[in-house]
Amino acid sequence: MSAGTPEPPGVPDLEDLEALLGIRHFETMLLRMFSEGRLNGTTHTCLGQEHVPVALAPLLAGDHVLSNHRGHGHYLALFRDPAGLLAEIMGREGAVCSGVGGSQHIRRGRYLSTGVQGESLPLAVGLGLHCKRTREGRIAAVFTGDGTWGEGAVYEALNMAALWRVPVLVVVEHNGIAQSTPTRLQLAGTIADRAAAFGLDFVEVTGHDVPAIRARLAPVVRRVREQHRPAVVQFTTHRLGPHSKGDDTRPGEDVAALWADDWHRELAERLGEPFRELDARIRAEVERVAREVEARPPSAWAAASGARNATAGGTRGWGTDERTD
């Protein structure tokens, strides 16, 4: 390779490819099921952002992970449990939280998702303070979108995290749009400058090269863990799908341009037939899980039992790795 020629992006290993494809096909399946009237309520998919949780999941093994309304990928990257998650969304037997949490509100082990914007930042600070005081070596990682940075609770939490030096990692999935409002119209300044105002470490990640992202962020996570230095990591990425199940007000040509830069298309072109074969296998597996879950009886919930363990979900998808239980 000649001097000055950029290195080609890394190729995810088989486990990461399975996770990327599993999340992609899970999310597209949900949108189709809604369009067919097979699901009720709403959902927020992470299409285009799958590489974020896949890259981070091995770095957060055993840690507290706080997700948000667009959190299916976060859960699936950690637990590889499409059956339990779909059962939760459908209210079927084997659901992660007995079917009462739905798409957005899920608790499993040290994982918690919520649809309340900004609510997880103060929780992360409290969990981080607990980790620091007990010296258990864990951190609190919290996922937010760029739209969440309009919430006052975010800045109260960042202030406390910096003052108390708690092991908190704030992951910003900056997809350039908050529901239907472009970020440039709702966010003054930059997230980098806001992090700097509190004296927090800041790293911006662009692209979807999973091995490179993981290698770059490993020392960042290690500093948070070992030195109790809170950090903000911004993934500058794209939201390919609608805000929720069908409300996309963006011009079609703008969305088409985002799809043209999609990681799935890039890997398919680079890897060829082996990728297409794996893609078809994972898609078929997700569809099989959907048929199996849809045939289950409704879930039952008893207040005394609380949330059920997702291992009750039965048939699992593309792996059995439970990283944060």
Give me the DSSP letters along 256-277: HHHHHT-HHHHHHHHH-HHHHH
Contact 210, 54 (CB under 8 A): yes
Average pLDDT of the segment spanning 196-218: 96
pLDDT of residue 1: 44
Torsion of CA 125, 126, 130, 131, to 10 degrees: -30
Question: Residue 311: pLDDT above 50?
Answer: no
**Contacts for 226 with CB less than 8 Å, ≥ 6 apart:** none
Q: How far apart are CA 65 and CA 57, in angstroms?
A: 10
**Rounded mean pLDDT of 316-325?**
48
What's the gap between Cα 47 and its chain centre?
10
Give the Cα separation of 260 and 293 in Å (integer): 33
Cβ neighbour number for residue 249 with a 10 Å cutoff: 10
Which architecture does CATH list for 14-291?
A: 3-Layer(aba) Sandwich (3.40)
More confident residue, 319 or 155: 155
User: Which sign, positive or negative, has the C-alpha torsion 221, 227, 230, 232?
Assistant: negative
The stretch 208-220 carries a mean pLDDT of 96
The per-residue pLDDT for 307 is 46
CA distance 324 to 61: 5
With pLDDT > 70 as the criterion, what percentage of the chain qualifies?
90
**pLDDT score of 10:** 81
Size of the chain in residues? 325
* Residue spans of beta strands (DSSP E) within the chain: 64-67, 106-108, 111-113, 140-145, 168-174, 177-178, 181-182, 201-206, 231-236
pLDDT score of 248 more than 80:
no
pLDDT at 318 over 70: no
CA dist 55 and 49 (Å) reads 11
Contact 65, 76 (CB under 8 A): no
DSSP state of 146: G
For the residues 250-276, what does the mean pLDDT come to?
Answer: 86
Q: What is the mean pLDDT of residues 199-204?
A: 97
Burial class of residue 189 in the structure, from the number of CB atoms within 10 Å of its CB (0-12 exposed, 13-18 middle, 19+ buried): exposed
Q: Work out the average pLDDT over 229-247.
A: 85
DSSP 117: T
Task: Name the 3-class secondary structure at 109.
Answer: coil
Cβ contact 228:167 at 8 Å: yes
Q: How confident is the model at residue 303 (pLDDT cuts 50, 70, 90)?
A: low
The token pair that represents 86 in the structure block: 């779909």
Mean pLDDT of 31-45: 86
Q: What is the mean pLDDT of the chain?
A: 88
At residue 97 the predicted structure's pLDDT band, cuts being 50, 70 and 90, is: very high
Please determine, for residue 216, whether its predicted confidence score (pLDDT) is greater than 90: yes
User: Which amino acid type is present at position 69?
Assistant: H
Q: How far is CA 126 from the centre of its chain?
A: 21
Name the more confident of 311 and 188: 188
pLDDT above 90 as % of the chain? 64
